Amino acid sequence: MSTKFLFRGLILSLLMTNLSCDNDDDNGIIVAPNTSFTVTIENVFEAKDYFNNGTTGFIQPGASESFSFDAGKGHYLSFATMFVQSNDLFYASADHGLALYDDEGNAVTGDITSLIDLWDAGTEVNEEPGVGENQAPRQSGANTGVDENGTVALIGNVGDGFAYPEDEAVIKVLLEHDGGTKFTATIENVSAASSLPTPLAPGAWVVHNDGQTPLFVAGTAATEGLERVAEDGNNEILEETLASNSGYVSPFAPGSFGINDAVFTASEVASEALEALAEDGSPAGFSLVFNTPVGGGSPGPIFPGDSYSFEFEAAEGDVLSFATMLVQSNDWFVGTDGIQLYNNGTPVSGDITNLIGLFDAGTETDEYAGAGRNQPVRQGEPNTGADENGVVELETNPGSQVPNVSDMIKVTINPN
């Protein structure tokens, strides 16, 4: 290094020393200057359109099959299963699914067969039911028959001239509420005594939000996944499509950070300020907050792909803590109660996600994450839910639907 650069470096350090005179201790000894850090918190959830999904199997006349799932207020159920003695007909709810809760927030239960209809996928020309040689029981192979190039329609609106048994004579669908967010649906094949006994073929179900049409849209062409379900009772493609697009996703809420003055302490009772942060995403009780998404104009949560960023100055020995609510939970937050900002005199730098944990504030009893009625998206007002009377601790059993911390959030720190 040239003397010129050394000189410049000296001037710079003298300037910085003067600027950081607050760091003079009582004996007048100069301590290391503060470093300015930037922390970035990014929501790295993989965006998904639907909440969860599954399949149903082959249901012979006289048999039934049940499947269970979790769902919250605002969730809908869609499913489809083939009317096997046909070319491309299937039983399903309306294209937007059926509401699992009524307007008062009560679970819908009982016999819901009246909400199920027989649909024509519009992919294969209809033959006489139970007789046609291109229908699943008789066709020479999968995907055999005359292309229809039509759209998905209620069979009652198709007018193909054939007679079909009443829906209630073939299928019966029951919905039970098992408490909390748990439901069990049962599909019963009651066609044995009908004019045309038929198996119901492997199908698919999906729990989703209002306004979504995950299996088909009436009046438009069927997807390949639905075509295979409706013509051949093959649910593989539809299952794959739904599974890759279903799962737990959550925003993170405005949060708080502290330098030395910790936002929380593990194993201790949460402060009121932390309770509001962890239950309702409100950092109002803290002085140091991050609340505005990068590139956003006003405070709000961060969704997949969004991030928060905040800056602070710290000196060797200082410790960073922070907390941001995992919104689709009762009182869970992601953060740390203490990360050393220097490592042997060097400012910490880079990805520190592995130092971050998922914590339960211990203030509100946990429900199924993503569906519980006392979680922010579904609760009527803040601070709703049963008191937990616990302490802040790592959440080690969040439920299999909740990804690992590093698949939900990425935290980086950089000295400026």
- Which residues of this chain interact with Ca ion, rule CB under 5 A? 88, 120, 126, 134, 139, 144-145, 148, 231, 279, 331, 360, 366, 374, 379, 384-385, 388
**Of 70 and 88, CB closest to Ca ion:** 88
Is the Cβ–Cβ distance between 339 and 349 less than 8 Å?
no
Residue 42 or residue 275: which is nearer to Ca ion going by CB?
275
Q: Which C-beta is closer to Ca ion: that of 54 or that of 150?
A: 150
Of 278 and 348, nearer to Ca ion (C-beta) is 278
Q: How far is the CB of 93 from Ca ion (least distance, A)?
A: 19
Q: Closest approach of Cβ 158 to Ca ion, in Å? A: 7
> Closest distance between Ca ion and the C-beta of residue 88, in Å?
4
Mark 53-85 as b/e (b = at least 16 C-beta within 10 Å): bbbbebbeeeebbeeebbbbbbbbbbbbbbbbb
Buried b (16+ CB within 10 A) or exposed e, 388-397: bebebeebee
Nearer residue to Ca ion within complex by CB, 148 or 239: 148
Instruction: Read off φ and ψ for residue 225, nearest 5 degrees.
Output: -60, -45
Whole-number minimum distance, CB 294 to Ca ion, in Å?
A: 27
Structure-token pair, residue 385: 């839910």
Cβ closest to Ca ion, residue 188 vs residue 364: 364
CB burial readout 12-35, b (16+ within 10 A) else e:
eeeeeeeebeeeeeeeeeeeebbb
Beta carbon nearer to Ca ion, 158 or 169: 158
Q: Which of 175, 194, 207 is nearest to 77 (CA)?
A: 207
Range 340-359 burial, b when 16+ CB lie within 10 A, else e: ebbeeeebbeeebbeebbbb
Q: Retrieve residue 213's tokens.
A: 């049409």
Least Å from the CB of residue 356 to Ca ion: 18
- Name, in order, each residue with C-beta under 8 angstroms of 404's C-beta and a sequence gap of 6 or more: none
- Cα–Cα distances (Å) from 62 to 66, 158, 199, 342, in that order, read 14, 29, 9, 70
Residue 277 Cβ vs Ca ion, minimum distance, rounded to whole Å: 12
Q: How far is the CB of 218 from Ca ion (least distance, A)?
A: 14
CB-nearer residue toward Ca ion: 229 or 314: 229
In angstroms, what is the minimal distance from the CB of 377 to Ca ion?
A: 10
User: Cβ of residue 153: shortest distance to Ca ion, in angstroms?
Assistant: 9
How far apart, in Å, are the Cα atoms of 94 and each of 67, 252, 342, 348?
Answer: 19, 33, 59, 55
188 versus 331: smaller Cβ distance to Ca ion: 331
Other C-beta atoms lying within 10 Å of the C-beta of residue 153: 16
Backbone angles phi, psi at 101, to 5 degrees: -135, 145
